[in-house]
Amino acid sequence: MPTSNPRIRIQGTVRNESYGFEKVDGELVKKVREHVYERVLARDVVRIIFFLPHDHQHLIAGVTHALDSYLRAIEGHPGALSEYTCCWWEPFKLTEMGWDRIRETLGPKEPRFFEDYEPDDARFAHKDGADPYFTLFGEQGNGYAFSYHARLPWREPPPQSVSVLSATLPTEYLEENGAQHVRELAMAMASRLPFATGHAGLALDLWRPIYAQLDRLRTEIFRHPGFDVREASHFDGMGTRVDGIHWMNVLGPPVLSELDGATGLRARLHSPTTTVQELEGGRAVVTLGEAPEAGDLEQGQTLPAYRELARVLEPHLEPFP
């Protein structure tokens, strides 16, 4: 097993436009301004993510515990989180007022079902806080982030509708603190969440413009199959499907039930580096080795344990988009 994983850092140029008005000869004229700046477009991280088929009201305690667990884990890393977005607000510096907004967003909400909105108002439901969400992040490209987005409350939710909680850590954090520390963090975050599925492992954190330039990543993606490139979100309708194969794979009902529980799943997996740990509530976590691996097909590191689990879970995997 390699002692370290490959560094993938792609720097690039981002261009944004903003609009304003200026007085020209006494008249207001619309002006377009282009903003050009350099930033990290893609970098390697450790991603932890959970798909939760529940409304916000049923997730408050679990999400609060997961956030507190993450914050404890990154203590001693000044500047790890320095900005935030909350509901429809634009990014702000993470001050005491920002933390107040985050805690308010995590609090109980007066239930208002999406069906009760008038057609013209339904598209603004997020501004009423009907689907609470926030993201905490650090200086661009530093690898730290925590995000939560609840699904809209319906009387009968669409079957694929889920709330999503995710967090990332730079791979330097993994190397400094060890894989066991990261595993304990993922388990602590999961401990009070009623997840359907979830995972933790190596991933590529992609800034939006990179999606139009995936050819720049093609070589790395196909050489290192252990990197997750699927940044699933609240809008993707994951339902109970499994979002790929990763270092840690947390499974709940109905997927685990259809595999005859943790015992049935364990019987199908034969890799000596794979462990299946049964959890309360008909859930389990499958861990592929002592630490996450990127693999390297050029060096013959083909990740056989990952491929074995992929074959077992194939009927439940989300089709690759």
Structure confidence by residue, pLDDT tens digits, 178-219: 999 999 999 999 999 999 999 999 999 988 767 677 787 888
Does the pLDDT at position 105 exceed 80?
yes
Does the pLDDT at position 226 exceed 60?
yes
Q: Given CA atoms 168, 169, 171, 174 in this order, what sign does their dihedral have?
A: negative
Q: What is the pLDDT of residues 238-279, one digit of tens each?
A: 889 999 999 999 999 999 999 999 999 999 999 999 999 999
Residue type, 152: L
Does the pLDDT at position 23 exceed 80?
no
pLDDT at residue 158, rounded to an integer: 87
Region 227-235: mean pLDDT is 84
pLDDT at residue 233, rounded to an integer: 80
Mean of pLDDT over the chain: 89
| Lowest mean pLDDT, pick from 35-44, 85-94, 198-207, 208-217 | 208-217
For helices 60-73 and 96-106, angle between their N-to-C axes, nearest 10 degrees:
150
293, two tokens: 């691996």
Q: Identify the bridge partners of residue 33 per DSSP, sorted by sequence position.
A: 18
- In the block, which residue shows the tokens 């999406």? 114
Does the pLDDT at position 160 exceed 50?
yes
Region 73-82: mean pLDDT is 94
Q: What angle do CA 95, 97, 99 make, to 5 degrees?
A: 75
Does the pLDDT at position 13 exceed 90?
no
Residue 123: alpha-carbon gap to chain centroid:
24
Is residue 29 within 8 Å of residue 23, measured between CB atoms? Answer: yes
- 16, 24, 25, 131, 249 from 21: Cα distances, Å: 17, 9, 13, 34, 52
Residue 194 backbone dihedrals phi, psi, to 5 degrees: -85, 65
Does the pLDDT at position 307 exceed 80?
yes
Q: What share of the chain in percent tops pLDDT 70?
A: 90
pLDDT at residue 3, rounded to an integer: 47
CA distance 135 to 115: 27
pLDDT tier for residue 20 given thresholds of 50, 70 and 90: confident
